[in-house]
């Protein structure tokens, strides 16, 4: 006979949906996500979008905080170089996140949970594709426990 | 200049009123340790000591001195007089970082450069002394750039070579000589410093481990952290008056109680919050940490902090060809960018 508790655990695991936080810049990437919606493109509902004014507004501690609060994946997207509404905000961001990604790698934190990319206002399809890709990657890794410090598979 | 000449010069300047204060090293409570000497009296300068046991990065104390002076708006003119400070090579790099960030005016400093053939590790010296000395009387301890000696009937007897008691920093030291100084103690070190390409051997060695093992190592290290903030307090680069990572009171950004929680990490000492603290601190030190090793010496639980910060320094060097504090005029690396910066870490 199967243990009912064990069974419910299995069900919980099967129903587990990754939580993905996407920080999108107001001028390009958020409009790109909007276009994906308006064009009725399919992408996983695991993503929660947070709009920031510029990718250069993003402090790397936002990403760490998101992981701490239980995010399983974090995505940062901004305008392509040269397209930034504030001329150069995304270029500062590029430096910061290169170091963060390298540091994750050095510490052994699962690097695949973090994604940074450029998404323009016309790239709705690209946004949908990136979210799908990140969700697949995170689903393969399972719940994030390294920085959240709690077992949140149940909640 | 020789040490007694330097002492005489500084004492002269102090008594003439050309210097505000002198920051150097003095003997600690036992012969293995040195502690900072901060004085404005010419008599106390007799205690000034230039032994290889003086490891503290004295540039840490300058930011505070200058900041306090600036806070008192109507200040007597004498407070603008230069402060003399004893600096080794890596310490002068730390000072360069502060100069780059316009925290200290160069004209308020009188730099006594101290060429460095490697510093001694007081703990190693103490252990060896207790293992090898015939008579453990502390009055007989002699430590200089030749090694550890015991005085027996007025004769120096060698107990250990300098290599045995020296700190590991000579393995990656890029600046045995101070980068700038007003007077130099003794002769500059003639040996070639470690080449830029081979300075990160320790980080490269660590990166050979598999990813899972790396996290096992660091999560164990972080779980021991007691968040005493000694690493932050001793760090010359950590010069913020209020640290965003170590706030101890909740200060709401707006009057609404719902948005009181404005921290970027919790104060709890759990492995997750500790890891967040160390990741944030490592990023704040990008292009600013000069590997002086003060954090590691200050850490009461022995976390290998230098390895962590040097991994970021390695990234900065590999990606942006930049070494912290080599040029006091250069713009800090994280406040500028290049259109050619690498995008290898990004999604196509």
Look up the pTM and report it: 0.91
Q: Rounded CA gap, B333 and A48, in Å?
A: 33
CB atoms A102 and B315 under 8 Å: yes
Q: Which residues pair with B22 in a beta bridge?
A: B39, B84
Name which of B50, B290, B18 is nearest B174 in CA terms: B290
Q: Which residue has the higher pLDDT, A28 or B68?
A: A28
CATH of the domain at A47: 3.40.50
- From the CA of A155, how many Å to the nearest CA of chain B? 18
Are B92 and B160 within one domain? no
Residue range A88-124, pLDDT digits in tens: 999 999 999 999 999 999 999 999 999 999 999 999 9
Q: Is residue A147 assigned to a domain?
A: no
Place A155 in a pLDDT band, splitting at 50, 70 and 90: very low
The answer as to whether A3 is a domain residue is no
Residue A123, helix vs strand vs coil: coil
Strands (E), chain B: 21-27, 34-39, 83-87, 109-113, 141-144, 147-152, 155-161, 183-184
- Model pLDDT for residues B161-207, shown as the tens digit of each residue: 999 999 888 889 999 999 999 999 999 998 888 999 999 999 999 99
Length of chain A: 155
Residues of A in contact with B311 (CB under 8 A): 102-103, 106
* Pick among B338, B347, B348 to test the A interface (most A CBs inside 10 A): B347
Residue A154 included in any domain:
no
Residue B80: band (very low, low, confident or very high) from pLDDT cuts 50, 70, 90: confident
Contacts of A141 in chain B (CB under 8 A): none
Half-sphere exposure of A74 (CA within 13 A, CB side): 27
Residues A148 and A54: beta-carbon distance below 8 Å = no
Element (H, E) at A25: strand A20-25
Whether B10 and B66 map to the same domain: the answer is: yes
For residue A65, give the chain B residue with the closest CA.
Answer: B264
In a domain, A32, yes or no: yes
Same structural domain, B58 and B146? no
B271 to chain A: closest CA residue:
A149
Minimum CA–CA partner of A82 in chain B: B339
Encode pLDDT of B198-226 as tens digits: 999 999 999 999 999 999 999 999 999 99
CA dist., res. B316 & res. B313, Å (int): 5
Q: Do A68 and B265 touch (CB under 8 A)?
A: yes
* Cα B88 versus chain centre, distance: 10
Same domain, B200 and B310: yes
Q: Examine residue B330 and state whether it is found in any structural domain, yes or no.
A: yes
Q: How confident is the model at residue B241 (pLDDT cuts 50, 70, 90)?
A: confident
Least confident of A60-64, B38-42, B61-65: B61-65
What's the pLDDT at B280? 94
Domain count, chain A: 1
DSSP 3-state of B71: helix
Same domain, B105 and B43: yes
Say whether pLDDT at B110 is over 80.
yes
Does B83 lie in the same domain as B49? Answer: yes
In a domain? residue B10: yes
Q: Which domain holds residue B10?
A: 3-119+174-184
DSSP letters for B128-181: HHHHH-SS--GGGEEEETTEEEEEETTEEEEEEEHHHHB-GGGGT-S-SS-SS-
> Is A153's pLDDT higher than 80?
no
Shortest CB distance from A99 goes to which of B218, B273, B312?
Answer: B312
Classify residue A6: in a domain, yes or no.
Answer: no
Answer yes or no: is B341 within a domain.
Answer: no
* Dihedral class, residue A142 (left if φ above 0, else alpha if ψ from -120 to 50, else beta): left
Q: Does residue B14 form part of some domain?
A: yes
- Residue in this structure with the two tokens 């963060």, named with its chain if needed: A100
Question: B309 pLDDT exceeds 50?
Answer: yes
Q: Is the Cα dihedral B232, B238, B240, B243 positive or negative?
A: negative
| Residue B248 in tokens | 């101890």
Confidence label for B256 from pLDDT (cuts 50, 70 and 90)? low
Is B340 a member of any domain? no
Domain membership flag for residue A2: no
pLDDT recorded at residue B257: 54
Question: Is residue B262 assigned to a domain?
Answer: yes
Pick the closest to residue B35 from B20, B46, B12, B51 (CA basis).
B51
pLDDT grade for B73, boundaries at 50, 70 and 90: low
End-to-end C-alpha distance for chain A, whole angstroms: 27
Provide mean pLDDT across the span B69-78.
71
- Report whether pLDDT(B259) > 70: no
Report the C-alpha gap between B267 and B199 in whole angstroms.
Answer: 35
- Is there a single domain that holds both residue B180 and residue B278? no
Q: Is residue B346 included in any domain, yes or no?
A: no
Domain housing A68: 18-141
What is the C-alpha to C-alpha distance for residues B320 and B340, in angstroms, rounded to an integer?
Answer: 10
Residue B66 has a pLDDT of 82
For B112-148, the pLDDT digits (tens) are 999 998 899 999 999 999 999 888 888 899 998 899 9
Q: Is residue A104, in this structure, part of any structural domain at all?
A: yes
- Residue B320 in contact with partner chain A when CB distance is under 8 A: yes
Say whether both B239 and B112 belong to one domain: no
Query: Per DSSP, what are the bridge partners of residue B147?
Result: B144, B161
Which helix (H) or strand (E) element contains residue A24? strand A20-25
| Mean local confidence (pLDDT), B290-319 | 95
Same domain? B8 vs B130: no
pLDDT by residue (tens digit) across A39-97? 999 999 999 999 999 999 999 999 998 998 899 999 999 999 999 999 999 999 999 99
Q: What value does the mean pLDDT take over residues A8-21?
A: 83
- The more confident residue out of A55 and B259 is A55
Does residue B307 share a domain with residue B253?
yes
Mean pLDDT, chain B, whole residue set: 89
* Residue B331 sits in the same domain as residue B200: yes
Q: What is the predicted pLDDT for the residue at B68? A: 79
How far B281 CA sits from the closest chain A CA (Å)?
10
Task: Please name the member of A96, A98, A100 whose beta carbon is closest to the beta carbon of B342.
Answer: A98
Residue B332 · residue B100 · CB < 8 Å: yes
User: For residue B304, what pLDDT is reported?
Assistant: 96
- Whether B37 and B62 map to the same domain: the answer is yes
- Residue B348 included in any domain: no
B321 touches chain A (CB under 8 A): no
B43's CB contacts (< 8 A; 6+ apart) are none
- The number of distinct structural domains making up chain B is 3
pLDDT at B62 over 80: yes
**CB-closest option in B334, B337, B344 to A88:** B337
B251 pLDDT higher than 70:
no
Residues A79/A90, Cβ–Cβ less than 8 Å = yes
């Amino acid at each position: 006979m199967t243990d009912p508790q064990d069974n419910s655990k299995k069900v919980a695991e099967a129903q587990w949906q990754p939580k993905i936080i996407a920080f999108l810049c107001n001028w390009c990437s958020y409009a790109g996500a909007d276009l994906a919606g308006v064009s009725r493109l399919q992408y996983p509902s695991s993503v929660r979008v947070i709009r920031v004014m510029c990718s250069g507004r993003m402090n790397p501690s936002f990403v760490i905080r998101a992981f701490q609060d239980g995010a399983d994946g974090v995505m940062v997207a901004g305008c392509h170089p040269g397209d930034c509404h504030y001329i150069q905000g995304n270029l500062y961001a590029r430096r910061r996140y290169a170091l963060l990604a390298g540091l994750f790698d050095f510490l052994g934190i699962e690097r695949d949970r973090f994604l940074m990319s450029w998404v323009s206002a016309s790239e709705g399809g690209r946004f949908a594709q990136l979210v799908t890709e990140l969700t697949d990657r995170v689903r393969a890794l399972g719940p994030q426990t390294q920085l959240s410090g709690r077992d949140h598979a149940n909640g | 200049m020789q040490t007694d000449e330097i002492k005489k010069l500084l004492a002269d300047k102090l008594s003439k009123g050309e210097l505000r204060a002198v920051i150097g090293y003095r003997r600690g409570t036992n012969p293995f340790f040195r502690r900072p000497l901060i004085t404005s009296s010419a008599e106390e300068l007799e205690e000034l000591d230039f032994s290889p046991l003086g490891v503290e990065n004295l540039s840490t104390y300058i930011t505070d001195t200058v900041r306090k002076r600036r806070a008192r708006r109507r200040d007597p003119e004498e407070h603008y007089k230069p402060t003399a400070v004893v600096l080794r090579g890596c310490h002068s790099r730390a000072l360069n970082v502060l100069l780059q960030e316009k925290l200290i005016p160069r004209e308020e400093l009188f730099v006594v450069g101290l060429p460095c053939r490697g510093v001694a590790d007081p703990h190693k010296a103490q252990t060896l002394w207790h293992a090898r000395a015939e008579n453990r009387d502390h009055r007989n301890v002699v430590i200089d750039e030749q090694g550890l000696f015991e005085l027996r009937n007025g004769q120096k007897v060698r107990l250990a070579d300098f290599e045995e008691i020296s700190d590991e920093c000579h393995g990656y030291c890029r600046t045995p000589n101070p980068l700038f100084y007003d007077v130099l103690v003794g002769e500059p070190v003639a040996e070639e410093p470690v080449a830029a390409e081979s300075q990160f051997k320790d980080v490269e060695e660590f990166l050979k481990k598999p990813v899972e093992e790396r996290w096992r190592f660091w999560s164990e290290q972080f779980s021991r952290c007691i968040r005493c903030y000694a690493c932050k307090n001793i760090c010359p680069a950590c010069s913020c008056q209020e640290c965003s990572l170590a706030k101890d009171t909740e200060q709401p950004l707006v009057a609404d109680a719902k948005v009181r929680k404005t921290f970027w990490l919790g104060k709890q000492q759990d492995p997750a919050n500790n890891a967040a603290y160390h990741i944030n601190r490592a990023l704040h030190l990008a292009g600013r940490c000069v590997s002086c090793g003060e954090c590691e010496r200050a850490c009461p639980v022995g976390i290998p902090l230098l390895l962590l910060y040097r991994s970021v320094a390695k990234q900065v060097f590999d990606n942006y060809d930049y070494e912290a504090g080599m040029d006091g005029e250069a713009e800090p690396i994280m406040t500028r960018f290049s259109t050619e910066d690498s995008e290898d870490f990004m999604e196509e």
